[in-house]
Amino acid sequence: MHLNKVLMNLRSLSAQGAWLLLSGLWAPAGAQEMVLQVDPGHIRSEVQPTMFGIFFEDINFAADGGLYAELVKNRSFEFTLPKTGWLEPHSNPYGFNRESGSSSVLKYGAEDGNQTYLRVQVQKPEGYELINEGFRGMGIRAGADYRLSLRAARGDGAVRAIVVNLVDSTGTSLGGSRIALDTQGWKDYQATFSASRTEPRAQLRITFEGTGSVDLDMVSLFPADTWKGRPNGLRKDLVQLLYDLKPGFLRFPGGCIVEGRTLARRYQWKKTVGPVADRTALINRWNTEFAHRPAPDYFQSFGLGFFEYFQLAEDLGAAPLPILGCGMACQFNTAELVPLDQLDPYIQDALDLIEFANGSTATPWGRVRAEMGHPEPFHMKYLGIGNEQWGPEYAERLALFTRALRQAHPEIELVGSSGPFAAGDFFEYGWEKMKELGVDLVDEHYYMSAEWFRKNAGRYDSYDRKGPKVFAGEYAAQSVRTASPENKNNWECALAEAAFITGLERNADLVTMTSYAPLMAHAEGWQWTPDLIWFNNLESYGTANYYVQKLFANNSGTHLLEIGSEGKPLSGQQGLYASAELDRKAGQLIVKLVNTEPRARDLKLEVTGGKLGRKAQLSILRGEAPDALNSFEAPTAVSPVEETMNLGRSEIRLSLSPGSLTVLRADLR
Ligand code: AHR
């Protein structure tokens, strides 16, 4: 049979079969055993607890419509088209119906904060209805409680009550409540009710008793069961997935979202703290970024704002790593610049952020934090200035930030950027400038092919050790090409990342922070793929890439060891990769082994300079084929299998499965 035909047939085989058949084809019988040496007594450096972290950006409906559990889209009528998300089924296309009622959006007159509200004119009792469509619907669970809150002001006429109901696509109620309007002016009302049925695409219907006018604002609906039970909090299943990663840091709020397509639409942290109703909504930069994935209804409510990010980092046991704009709009878009002599307000934002996070409650921004319920400092240690910036325009702006920040806050570690490219002139120039400016960490980004990841596991072996540390801040193997909508979170990419990560770990003296990106995507609302976690309105799952991250992060040691074959690191020879660490607290040797070849490999690990204990735990992660995926239907198709093995005194024999990541934790005496 021709090789082409064999390869075609492989596609139709079960994935497991594919690796095995390839193994039979390609593996010479009795392939030589690979011999590796590791010495747990020979420490190269400490491994930082920040080694494996998470990168959060509000892309793919990751915040509004995702992590932030609000179910109502455009709750305060602030979107550019202020009735976005709100349907008036009985109205004509112009939004009114003389017989039943109508609505219009009015302005309070404020420049900032909450600017608009909705005025409803009810002509016919119970004839007018207003429906919020949620974020591709609302995920509702049978028996769960939902908390509705809204602001209302009764106007002319006699509207006695507002009736809220969750409804399915036929308009059948799944639960609701009646809110009696007991006063004329603005008042906050609340109601809790439970859902009778599970429904992935429910909507919220609002009707009225009586006729007349009524004003509405901040119409909000949350599940009662949020992460840590916090009212108006975060979606529990999604935070749990993050928590399970045991991340060493949380980078927020992005990504390009930091910069904005224009300066006016940049992320401004001060507008994301304080009472949620006062946070000014802003169009999400991913709303219009990709013509092939338009999301005209994608805005940022900032209900998940900087306070909530710091709180999330604390909940996760992760160091907070905020990234702030540096006076440059996204260079892929408008590349607008703030003149150097007008940069002070931007620098002040950075100084004030440190006060907000760490300052005493006697300081103005420390007081804001305390008023929000967190008098204790957030112990922020890292701050990034600029996301994916490049060129002299960045260097000269960053210079002004570093000067001011070093002077006022020498305790804060500053993160600069080497730009969006993994190599090339901009990258080289960026690094040179970062060294000159003396930043503590340089944020590198690479969205490259699986092959690139396999070939670049040695990327950091020869990096300069005297300059800044490396923050591998955004990376992900792309199965097609960067930002292609066809990219998949397949096993080939996840395995290539695992191979690459052994290279990050082998260089843990230099690379002290790493994070996959992007983190999350709504299955019906995404703009960018691949992503670490996928979710819909009710469910979520970690991808194959997620389990790679989890295995590395959950098995990160305290000290870096050398591991290699004949004195050389194992970094792609015969498709094999390895890294090793000591976990001093647990008294264990940790070895990660990646076999990217489609055949099993026998391996002998000689442990010198220390004695092995009696047992080792193995976690083995493998997909059944390079194109294996996790999905809503099979969320753990690619997930680790745990085994225990007995140990000899000084050597361990393993057979690495075809296309696999193996994590070994061996007890030491
Ligand atoms: O992760 C998606 C985007 O990729 C980020 O916003 C940006 O920093 C990078 O270009």
pLDDT of 64-121, one tens digit each? 999 999 999 999 999 999 999 999 887 766 656 667 898 999 999 988 889 999 999 9
- Residues of the chain with pLDDT > 70, as a percent, come to 94
Ligand 1 centroid, distance to 524 Cα (angstroms): 20
Q: What is the pLDDT of residue 3?
A: 34
How many helices (H) and strands (E) are present in the chain, helices listed first? 11, 35
Please give the backbone phi and psi of residue 85, each rounded to the nearest 5 degrees, phi first: 90, -15
What is the mean pLDDT of the segment spanning 431-436? 98
- Which ligand 1 atom minimizes the distance to the CA of 388? 8
Question: What would the pLDDT profile of 112-162 be if each residue is shown by its tens digit?
Answer: 889 999 999 999 877 899 999 999 999 999 999 999 999 999 999 999 999
Is residue 49 pLDDT above 80, yes or no?
A: yes
Asked if residue 101 has its Cβ within 6 Å of ligand 1, the reply is no
Question: What would the pLDDT profile of 333-356 be if each residue is shown by its tens digit?
Answer: 999 999 999 999 999 999 999 999
- Which ligand 1 atom minimizes the distance to the CA of 447? 4
Question: What would the pLDDT profile of 407-423 be if each residue is shown by its tens digit?
Answer: 999 999 999 999 999 99
What is the mean pLDDT of the segment spanning 507-516? 98
Asked if residue 388 has its Cβ within 6 Å of ligand 1, the reply is yes
Asked if residue 386 has its Cβ within 6 Å of ligand 1, the reply is no
- Which tokens belong to 377? 């400092």
- Which tokens belong to 44? 């190269």
Asked if residue 389 has its Cβ within 6 Å of ligand 1, the reply is no
Asked if residue 444 has its Cβ within 6 Å of ligand 1, the reply is no
Q: What is the pLDDT of residue 100?
A: 87
Residue labelled with tokens 């204990």: 613
Pairing of strands 651-656, 138-140: unpaired
Ligand 1 centroid, distance to 99 Cα (angstroms): 49
Calculate Rg over the CA atoms of the chain. Answer: 27
d(CA 582, CA 613): 14
What is the mean pLDDT of the segment spanning 359-381? 98
d(CA 564, CA 568): 5
- Which ligand 1 atom minimizes the distance to the CA of 517? 1
Q: Yes or no: say if 415 and 471 are a contact pair by the CB < 8 Å rule.
A: yes
Please tell me the number of Cα atoms within 13 Å of 407 on its side-chain side.
8
**Atom 7 of ligand 1 has which residue's CA nearest to it?**
255
d(CA 132, CA 83): 10
d(CA 354, CA 377): 10
Asked if residue 352 has its Cβ within 6 Å of ligand 1, the reply is no
Q: Which amino acid does the sequence have at 416?
A: G
- C-alpha dist (Å) from residue 338 to 264, 326, 345, 348, 418: 11, 9, 10, 14, 20
- Which tokens belong to 233? 């909090």
Q: What is the pLDDT of residue 31?
A: 67
Q: What is the pLDDT of residue 2?
A: 38
Catalytic center residues: 388
**Atom 2 of ligand 1 has which residue's CA nearest to it?**
518
d(CA 357, CA 380): 6
**Atom 1 of ligand 1 has which residue's CA nearest to it?**
518
> Cβ contacts of residue 146 below 8 Å, gap of 6+?
71, 140, 166, 175, 192, 193, 194, 195, 221, 222, 223, 224
d(CA 442, CA 82): 41
d(CA 247, CA 542): 15
Question: Residue 426: which H helix or E strand, with range?
Answer: helix 425-437
d(CA 519, CA 473): 12
- Which ligand 1 atom minimizes the distance to the CA of 528? 2
Q: What is the pLDDT of residue 13?
A: 40
- Which tokens belong to 287? 């709303």
Asked if residue 260 has its Cβ within 6 Å of ligand 1, the reply is no
Q: What is the pLDDT of residue 127?
A: 80
Q: What is the pLDDT of residue 92?
A: 67
Which CATH number describes the domain made up of 3-47+560-668? Answer: 2.60.40.1180
Q: What is the pLDDT of residue 110?
A: 84
Is residue 406 pLDDT above 60, yes or no?
A: yes
d(CA 498, CA 52): 13
The strand pairing partners of 524, in sequence order, are none
- Which ligand 1 atom minimizes the distance to the CA of 255? 6
Asked if residue 256 has its Cβ within 6 Å of ligand 1, the reply is yes
Ligand 1 pocket, mutate which of 286, 387, 482 (most atoms under 8 A from CB): 387
Is residue 15 pLDDT above 60, yes or no?
A: no
Asked if residue 474 has its Cβ within 6 Å of ligand 1, the reply is yes
Q: Yes or no: say if 56 and 309 are a contact pair by the CB < 8 Å rule.
A: yes
**Atom 8 of ligand 1 has which residue's CA nearest to it?**
255
**Atom 3 of ligand 1 has which residue's CA nearest to it?**
255
Q: What is the pLDDT of residue 32?
A: 82
Q: How confident is residue 288, by pLDDT bands cut at 50, 70 and 90?
A: confident
**Atom 6 of ligand 1 has which residue's CA nearest to it?**
255
Asked if residue 530 has its Cβ within 6 Å of ligand 1, the reply is no
The strand pairing partners of 120, in sequence order, are 103, 214
Average per-residue pLDDT for the chain: 94
d(CA 501, CA 574): 17
For CA atoms 259, 66, 631, 660, the dihedral sign is positive
Is residue 526 pLDDT above 80, yes or no?
A: yes
Question: Residue 393: which H helix or E strand, with range?
Answer: helix 392-408
d(CA 363, CA 445): 36
Cis peptide before 518 (omega within 30 of 0): yes
Q: Which CATH class is domain 86-223?
A: mainly beta
Ligand 1 pocket, mutate which of 326, 474, 482, 527 (most atoms under 8 A from CB): 474
Lowest mean pLDDT among 180-184, 240-244, 442-446, 505-509: 180-184
Asked if residue 517 has its Cβ within 6 Å of ligand 1, the reply is yes
Ligand 1 pocket, mutate which of 331, 444, 445 (most atoms under 8 A from CB): 445
**Domain locations in the chain?**
3-47+560-668, 54-69+229-254+298-332+350-555, 86-223
Ligand 1 pocket, mutate which of 388, 475, 489, 531 (most atoms under 8 A from CB): 388
Q: What is the pLDDT of residue 1?
A: 31
Residue labelled with tokens 């490999």: 601
Q: How confident is residue 649, by pLDDT bands cut at 50, 70 and 90?
A: confident
The strand pairing partners of 546, in sequence order, are none
Asked if residue 528 has its Cβ within 6 Å of ligand 1, the reply is yes
Q: What is the pLDDT of residue 173?
A: 98
Q: What is the pLDDT of residue 14?
A: 41
**Atom 5 of ligand 1 has which residue's CA nearest to it?**
255
d(CA 257, CA 266): 7
Q: Yes or no: say if 525 and 61 are a contact pair by the CB < 8 Å rule.
A: yes
Of 110, 112, 114, whose CA–CA distance to 76 is shortest?
Answer: 114
How many residues belong to the chain? 669
Q: What is the pLDDT of residue 99?
A: 77
What's the pTM value of the predicted model, to 2 decimals? Answer: 0.95
Of 200, 309, 210, 205, whose CA–CA distance to 252 is shortest?
Answer: 309
Is residue 8 pLDDT above 90, yes or no?
A: no
Of 472, 480, 503, whose CA–CA distance to 248 is shortest?
Answer: 472
- Which ligand 1 atom minimizes the distance to the CA of 387? 8
Which one is predicted more confidently, 125 or 466?
A: 466
Distance of CA 379 to the CA centre of its chain: 21
Q: What is the pLDDT of residue 337?
A: 98
Distance of CA 11 to the CA centre of its chain: 32
- C-alpha dist (Å) from residue 68 to 15, 120, 184, 193, 295: 37, 28, 32, 20, 18
Architecture of domain 54-69+229-254+298-332+350-555: Alpha-Beta Barrel (3.20)
- Which ligand 1 atom minimizes the distance to the CA of 476? 1
Please tell me the number of Cα atoms within 13 Å of 190 on its side-chain side.
8
Asked if residue 57 has its Cβ within 6 Å of ligand 1, the reply is yes
